[in-house]
DNA sequence: TTGTATGCGTTATCAC
DNA sequence: GTGATAACGCATACAA
């Protein structure tokens, strides 16, 4: 007799009938309301379990505003190989953590690629989520306001908004300044005195400019001169790293260390160096950024700066859950987590 | 006065008041019910637009069963660099298409990594989605049944279920058999007579075994002998490709073409070949599989089999939307799409 | 062509 | 401790 229920999605009404109590009691019991008697509670929960009962999400959100969903907003324009790989790893992390917290994830781009329409406004007004996890650096102020007007928490993750709005909500970033500084200091500590840094073209992205600042700081601290010719932007691709010997031959010749801000550029360079009989790390020491899996298996294996994505994801998720569960007016928290340096044979 | 509404998420009740009609008329108008008079309809839709109106998803799903969400189910164990990259690209494609169709995507793993609990059952009983897009080869029969009992459409995408359940629902796969055949035929047509195929370890994954079958077929068709020693499984990593000269030196020596079933393995091999002065494609012709972005920029650029992920994503999405919109009892459709071959300098 | 009334499954405010 | 009952926002059968 229960077989039917097991397939058909039971409701609290069904459970009430089976338990011989009212739906109010069932509702309370399944929400662990302490007012219900232990015996009743156990009985009801047993029945619920045996029926594979789950709350009807629509009904629940209608009546209590709780959806059990979190919006994970990303930028549709992130299609770059390297970036999308990193972001993808971050997402898997987020998914994993939210799942432990019984939250589902609605994945969406901030803006429709074709129409430019805001998916954020849409999702807010549809009341589909309990909060926003934002991995996007160009959300409009209007949209931030829309979310806040709806009383939903915002947690900014990984991407620093381009139009800096100070600290209006919780933010968890990787410290790119420190990352740049660490990479450069590492090369300096190995004896490098003429250090090139190569970064991807990226119009207004803050992360690379921060890393360059960290690079500068490290030079300064060691009384090494800063030479702006040693900061070069090339496409974020294997080939641009490979072509460095042709595109900037004179610079490469005078350099004893290179800090690549994208691993993939470093991979190309390593290959080219090998072809030219240039010893890595003997002649030039090399370090990358992002610590993609291939760093471990390339020859020579690539030292790299590892961003704390696991920790970032965890902090961000915990924070948004906390905001959702307790609308206490905590001050927004903005944290820049330190990356770590993974030493391999290229440096 | 409308300002408040614009922020606060209007309801059809609000619109009814503003338009001077009943909520039923508003509901009809916003659902494009032809029974409502053109004038009324326009008026109502204008107001709705001006208020940024969106249906309350919870209410709507309660009353009409429509959630506007699709579950995209993946396998949490897919963490491999290469696979996860491909899957990620597939997901972005799916997201993009579903967005055009006004569908939101709930991204979830089939089973909780820690408890093993079925997220599918949970999401079905919570009534959170209108259909399932499955990119997972080990969904339990029980779960498939749960979905179908709930009357929700299932579309299987990219991953062929391990325990083959014939054609119980719509399925869109890349034709791995043909892919293997195409790659091999290509090498044969270039004059190769001793062709090695290298594939990733992967216990029971069907895709690689299919490619091997295609490889065999191609040999057969050209009256070339099949030598099982020329089918080798190694880890799906750059390094395993690189190490081939050490791990199977005799085989490499006798071979004039290699079909790598993962691009990344080929990348490693290309580097190793270069170091040893082995000319690619002069001495050995090489082709990979998946056509990851790096194929274009590696030296020599890597020929590769391109899976039709855009087309697969599109077919799968269109199909599931069609199923959702019209519960007509169409026969399940199972399609194996042909991959294409991208020729570059490695072959 | 439009309005009234009912129900969807849940929570919450009352009573008892 | 527990049970009626209203309310959440929308769709729809039925009236008008």
Cβ contacts of B126 on chain A, cutoff 8 Å = 54-57, 68
The dihedral formed by the CA atoms of B109, B111, B112 and B114, expressed in degrees to the nearest 10: -130
Domains B3-64 and B69-174+310-339 share a fold: no
**Best mutation target, A294, A295, A309, to test chain B (most B CBs within 10 A):** A294
For residues A132 and A155, the answer to whether their CB atoms sit within 8 Å is: yes
* Whether residue A285 has pLDDT greater than 70: yes
Contact B198, B260 (CB under 8 A): yes
Biggest CA pair distance of chain A = 86
Average pLDDT, chain A: 92
Kindly list the residues from chain A whose CB atom is less than 8 angstroms away from the CB atom of residue B105: 106-108
Question: According to DSSP H, which parts of A190-258 are helical?
Answer: 206-221, 238-242, 244-247, 249-253
What's the rounded Cα separation, in Å, for the pair B162 and B314?
23
- Looking at per-residue confidence, does A345 or A330 come out higher? A345
Residues A47, A18 contacting (CB under 8 angstroms): yes
Predicted confidence band of residue A183 (pLDDT cuts 50, 70, 90) = very high
Which pLDDT does position A83 carry in this prediction? 65
- Protein residue nearest nucleotide C6, by CA to C1': B63
Q: B114 in helix, strand or coil?
A: coil
pLDDT(A2) > 50: no
Burial readout A193-205 (b: 16 or more C-beta within 10 A, e: otherwise): ebbbbbbbebeeb
Crossing angle for the helix pair B38-50 and B12-19, to the nearest 10 degrees: 120
Residue with tokens 């997972």, as numbered in its chain:
B136
User: How close is the nearest chain A Cα to the Cα of B209, in Å?
Assistant: 25
B114-141 burial string, b = 16+ CB within 10 Å, else e?
A: eeeebbbbbbbbbbbbbbbbbbbbebee
- Which chain B residues are closer than 8 Å to A56 by Cβ? 62, 126-127
Residue whose tokens read 């009801």: A44
Q: CA-to-CA distance for A111 and B2, rounded, in angstroms?
A: 25
User: What is the Cα–Cα distance from B4 to B7, expressed in whole angstroms?
Assistant: 6
Q: Which CATH class is domain B176-306?
A: alpha beta
Enumerate the nucleotides of strand D whose atoms come under 7 Å of any protein CB.
1-5, 7-13
CATH fold of A3-64, please?
434 Repressor (Amino-terminal Domain) (1.10.260)
**Res A82: pLDDT:** 60
Predicted confidence at residue A165, as pLDDT, reads: 66
**Kindly report the CA angle at B18 between B17 and B23, in degrees rounded to 5?**
40
Contact A310, A157 (CB under 8 A): no
Distances (CA, A) of B306 to B176, B178, B277, B299, B336: 11, 12, 29, 19, 14
In this predicted structure, what is the pLDDT of residue B1?
A: 42
How far is the C-alpha of A263 from the C-alpha of A267, rounded, in Å? Answer: 6
> Would the pLDDT of A3 be above 60?
no
DSSP β-bridge partners for residue A287: A259, A303
Interface size A-B, in CB pairs within 8 Å, comes to: 179
Any idea which residue has 């939210």 for tokens?
Answer: A98
Which 8-state DSSP code applies to residue B118? B
pLDDT at A214: 98
d(CA B39, CA B345): 64
Third-level CATH fold of A69-174+310-339: Rossmann fold (3.40.50)
- Cα dist from B292 to A80, B9, B86, B301, whole Å: 12, 43, 8, 11
pLDDT on residue A201: 87
pLDDT band at A59 (very low <50, low <70, confident <90, very high): very high
Averages of pLDDT over each 10 residues, chain B, 347 residues: 62 95 96 94 95 96 96 83 74 92 95 94 97 95 93 94 78 97 98 96 83 98 97 92 96 97 94 92 96 87 96 96 85 95 97
d(CA A302, CA B271) in angstroms, rounded, equals: 15
* Interchain CB contact of B90 with A (< 8 Å): no
Answer whether A68 touches B (CB < 8 Å): yes
Domain boundaries, chain B: 3-64, 69-174+310-339, 176-306
Query: What are the tokens at A328?
Result: 């206490």
CA distance B65 to A58: 9
- Kind of pairing, strands A104-109 and B104-109? antiparallel
Cα–Cα distance for residue pair A297/A302, rounded to 1 Å: 8
Query: Closest CA to D7 C1' — which residue?
Result: A63
DSSP H or E stretch at residue B81 = helix B81-100
**Where does the pLDDT of residue A1 fall: very low under 50, low under 70, confident under 90, or very high at 90 and above?**
very low
**pLDDT (mean) for A318-334:** 88
Chain B residues in contact with A104 by the CB 8 A cut-off are 106, 108, 123, 128
Q: Residue B258: phi, psi to the nearest 5? A: -130, 130
Chain A interface includes B54 (CB < 8 A): yes
Could you identify the residue written with the tokens 């099949």?
Answer: B226
Q: pLDDT tens across A143-169, in order?
A: 999 999 999 999 999 999 987 665 689
B158-192 CB burial, b ≥16 within 10 A, e <16: bbbbeeeeeeebbbbbbbbbbbbbbbbbbbbeeeb
Q: Helix (H, G, I), strand (E, B), or coil: what is residue B67?
A: coil
Under 8 Å CB-to-CB from B208, ≥6 apart: which residues? B176, B199, B200, B202, B261
Percent of chain A beyond pLDDT 90? 80
Q: Is A124 in CB contact (< 8 Å) with chain B?
A: yes
What pLDDT, on the 0 to 100 scale, is given for residue A118? 96
Q: Identify the pLDDT of residue B2.
A: 47
Cis, bond preceding B302 (omega within 30 deg of 0)? no
């Amino acid at each position: 007799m229960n077989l039917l229920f097991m397939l058909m999605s039971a409701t609290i009404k069904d459970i009430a009938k089976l338990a011989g109590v009212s739906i109010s009691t069932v509702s309370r019991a399944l929400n662990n309301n302490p007012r219900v008697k232990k015996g009743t509670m156990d009985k009801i929960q047993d029945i619920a379990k045996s029926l594979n009962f789950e709350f009807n999400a629509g009904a629940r959100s209608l009546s209590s505003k709780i959806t059990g969903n979190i919006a994970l907003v990303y930028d549709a324009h992130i299609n770059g190989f390297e970036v999308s790989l990193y972001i993808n790893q971050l997402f898997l992390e987020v998914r994993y953590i939210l799942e432990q917290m019984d939250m589902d994830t609605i994945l969406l781009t901030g803006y429709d690629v074709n129409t430019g329409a805001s998916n954020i406004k849409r999702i807010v007004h549809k009341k589909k989520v309990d909060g926003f996890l934002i991995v996007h650096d160009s959300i409009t102020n209007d949209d931030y306001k829309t979310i806040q007007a709806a009383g939903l928490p915002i947690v900014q993750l990984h991407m620093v908004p381009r139009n800096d709005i100070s600290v209006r909500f919780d933010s968890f970033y990787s410290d790119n300044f420190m990352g740049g500084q660490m990479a450069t200091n590492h090369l300096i500590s190995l004896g490098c005195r003429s250090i090139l840094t190569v970064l991807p073209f990226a119009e207004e992205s803050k992360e690379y400019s921060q890393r360059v600042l960290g690079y500068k700081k490290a030079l300064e601290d060691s009384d090494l001169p800063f030479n702006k010719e040693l900061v070069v932007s090339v496409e974020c691709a294997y080939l641009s790293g490979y072509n460095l010997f042709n595109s900037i031959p004179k610079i490469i010749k005078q350099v004893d260390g290179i800090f690549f801000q994208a691993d993939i550029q470093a991979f190309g360079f390593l290959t080219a160096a090998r072809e030219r009989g240039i010893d890595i790390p003997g002649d030039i020491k090399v370090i990358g950024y992002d610590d993609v899996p291939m760093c471990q298996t390339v020859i020579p294996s690539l030292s790299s700066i590892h961003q704390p994505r696991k920790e970032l994801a965890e902090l961000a998720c915990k924070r948004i859950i906390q905001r959702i569960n307790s609308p206490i007016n905590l001050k927004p928290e903005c944290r820049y987590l330190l990356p770590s340096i993974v030493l391999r044979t290229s440096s």
